Amino acid sequence: MAKQKGSGSVQNRPIYSRLSYLYQAAAHLGSASNDQKIDATTKQALEDGAHSTASQTQKSESHVKQAMARNLLKELRAISHKTQIRISPAIKHTICKSCDTLLVEGDTCTSTVENKSKGGKKPWADVLVVKCKTCGGVKRFPVQAPRQKRRPHREAKAQEEQHQTMVQGENLEAMVQDKQPRAMVQGEQTQAMDTNDG
């Protein structure tokens, strides 16, 4: 629907900005850059000689940050479910599916490449495995294989192909006539939806 309205305006802009705020906040809390700052302070503390207490406070602080980031990401997921707004895959790849931890390479998750084919002979069977350190949840991404399209796109294409094969024998004009009323119906539906929203 957003596409039909034109690229300039985005529907549900407040919800999108809410989602992006939540992600930004979580990224800010859960990212490694914060920890570096803490490292600096702990180094100072180390010089002072208060090793154990400093490391403890750092640990608890990072724990709090992680917990807060998890809260926010849980919220993010709940909102995207409620409003039926799709989170972009790039963002989704950085959130653990089972415990909602922000996945930072080397910090909260480890990633390895796995090849389960016989003797590892098939290079296209390489799979990137990202393992969350908090819950042990695993994400798998095929490295070589091309990404499959989202289901609606996939189905639309399949339907088109089917349609074409069916029509091949018939006249071309018939196909055009068949398609026009469908488009009309779609337009009407979207209009109706728009009025509902407003």
**Is 135:98 a contact under the CB 8 Å cutoff?**
yes
Is 72 exposed, middle or buried (CB count within 10 Å of its CB: 0-12, 13-18, 19+)? Answer: buried
**Position 185, amino acid:** V
Strands (E), 32-171: 109-115, 126-132, 138-142
Q: Among 91-99, 107-115, 121-129, 153-161, which window interacts with another protein (CB under 8 A)?
A: 91-99
**Is 35:62 a contact under the CB 8 Å cutoff?**
yes
Instruction: State which residue, 82 or 182, has the beta carbon closest to another protein.
Output: 82
**Residue 6 Cβ, how far from another protein at the closest point, in Å?**
19
Question: Which of 10, 32, 46, 78 is in the footprint of another protein by CB under 8 A?
Answer: 78
Instruction: Check binding of 81 to another protein (CB under 8 A).
Output: yes
Question: Which of 115, 137, 141, 167 is in the footprint of another protein by CB under 8 A?
Answer: 137
- For CA atoms 89, 94, 97, 102, give the dihedral sign: negative
**Residue 174 Cβ, how far from another protein at the closest point, in Å?**
40
- What 3-state class would DSSP assign to 133? coil
Instruction: Check binding of 60 to another protein (CB under 8 A).
Output: yes
Binding site for another protein (CB under 8 A): 13-15, 17-18, 21-22, 24-25, 28-29, 56-57, 60-61, 63-65, 67-68, 70-72, 74-75, 78-79, 81-83, 97-101, 134-135, 137-139
